[in-house]
Amino acid sequence: MAARLDEKLEPIFQDVLRRNPGESEFHQAVHEVLETLGPVLVKYPELAERKIIQRICEPERQIIFRVPWQDDRGETHINRAFRVEFNSALGPYKGGMRFHPSVYLGIIKFLGFEQIFKNALTGLPIGGGKGGSDFDPKGKSEDEIMRFCQSLMTELYRHLGEYTDVPAGDIGVGQREVGFLFGQYKRITNRYESGVFTGKGLSWGGSRARKEATGFGTVYFLEEMLKARNDGLEGKTCVVSGSGNVAVYAMEKIYELGGKVIACSDSSGIVVDEKGIDLDRVKRIKEVERRRISTYADEVKHAKYIEDGNIWAVPCEAALPCATQNELNGKDAKKLLQNGCIAVAEGANMPSTPEAIRLFLESGIAYGPGKAANAGGVATSALEMQQNASRDSWTFEHTEQRLHEIMKNIHRNCYETADEFGAPGNYVTGANIAGFLKVSQAMEAMGLI
């Protein structure tokens, strides 16, 4: 059950419900932020008078359009695409594109809303936005994906620009899709505007460490939370949900910092390897062969594959949800806590339900919400924009060092803000208030726009 809101904030939330019917993920994301803002309005009553919160909850622009495309048999398909340009107080809109059948306006708005605060926490000059389509790249040929991307960009290009709106990848949109989207943008605009898209290939303006950044950053944040409790990852058993980009590189960094990953998953089930997941094998299965995670157990005889299994039932000391929204519920949180879990760091966006978050906070474990813990991806996207603007390309080591510094700063900012507003150790409160204050100050400075 969601927590009660401050009496000044309840009417604002009711208004969000009324104006955005049926968008449950967006409602959840807004409620989760509003829950923590009561003390801010006490300290800064002028924010209520100027209706800053209402303005943040209403996107600056919502773009919805159809995407017609032909498959290899010549059959016509019509998909729907979205770009929600949520808030540009700190810089151009910045946020990924998601291609998945579940995509609808409510999911894009939840992601865009989260992105405002996450981007603010990075300390870099980027606003919040998000986009995507209900197109499913699974089972499509390369040519079909190219035709879809080109059709989508033929409409979207007019809303983009390195000083306006800068998309990137997300679920279903990797380097291949970014290449097709960027190529069509270049073709239509007749401009090689590298900084308009991030997540590009290294040979055409991409940044080293971008692919690794979200996973690496999540583990850096986890390590900082543990350090704040005079602990560390060394010797800790971990479970990581998912086996895509974020999960794979989170696992890599856990091993580097001395931890051990004993389980990972995909949409079909989970694989448990008590000796430690063989990361090179997972990379080959998922990134090269593009097969199901069950293949791992076929190859490693002592590993166990559980179809439709629950990864949160596997006993661990640290849990990293790195798959999708609302994948970890109250029952799962109870199980993790019963089994001795002491830390949770979110590599995905809003992967824990409100009930799960409540249990984590009440138990006093180290809990890092996505908008703080997984901000490394968008931070490195902003570093890619910097490199593009200066026609430069940094080494992997330099980019990773910048990422590490940014994640340490995000942790410090969240930790100190939580302390200042009477919720020591509560990274949810710290992240929400720190991000909100930065955006609201910029909005105030720019007047009523």
**Spatial distance between the Cα atoms of 47 and 55, rounded to a whole number of angstroms:** 11
**Spatial distance between the Cα atoms of 109 and 416, rounded to a whole number of angstroms:** 29
- 101-120: b or e for each residue (b if 16 or more CB lie within 10 Å)? eebbbbbbbbbbbbbbbbbb
Q: Is 169 annotated as a binding residue?
A: yes
Which residue's structure tokens are 């590298």?
194
Q: Is 118 annotated as a binding residue?
A: yes
CB of 155 closer than 8 Å to CB of 65: yes
Q: Is 386 annotated as a binding residue?
A: no
**Spatial distance between the Cα atoms of 359 and 127, rounded to a whole number of angstroms:** 31
Is residue 172 classed as helix, strand or coil in its secondary structure?
Answer: coil
**Spatial distance between the Cα atoms of 385 and 48, rounded to a whole number of angstroms:** 34
Query: In the structure, how many helices (H) and strands (E) does the chain have?
Result: 18, 12
* The 3-state secondary structure of 104-124, one letter per residue: CHHHHHHHHHHHHHHHHHCCC
CB of 226 closer than 8 Å to CB of 203: no
Q: Is 295 annotated as a binding residue?
A: no
CB of 218 closer than 8 Å to CB of 376: yes
Q: Is 432 annotated as a binding residue?
A: no
- The total number of residues shown for the chain amounts to 449
Strands across the sheet containing 165-168: 61-70, 76-87, 127-133, 93-99, 165-168
Sign, CA dihedral 175-180-184-190, equals positive
- Which helix H or strand E contains 367, and what residues bound it? strand 366-368
CB of 267 closer than 8 Å to CB of 243: no
Q: Is 325 annotated as a binding residue?
A: no
Q: Which residues are catalytic?
A: 130
Quick one: residue 425, left, alpha or beta (phi over 0 = left, psi -120 to 50 = alpha)? left
- CA-closest candidate to residue 373, choices 430, 436, 333: 430
CB of 281 closer than 8 Å to CB of 179: no
Q: Is 214 annotated as a binding residue?
A: yes
Binding residues for substrate: 94, 115, 118, 169, 381
Binding residues for NAD(+): 214, 245
Binding residues: 94, 115, 118, 169, 214, 245, 381
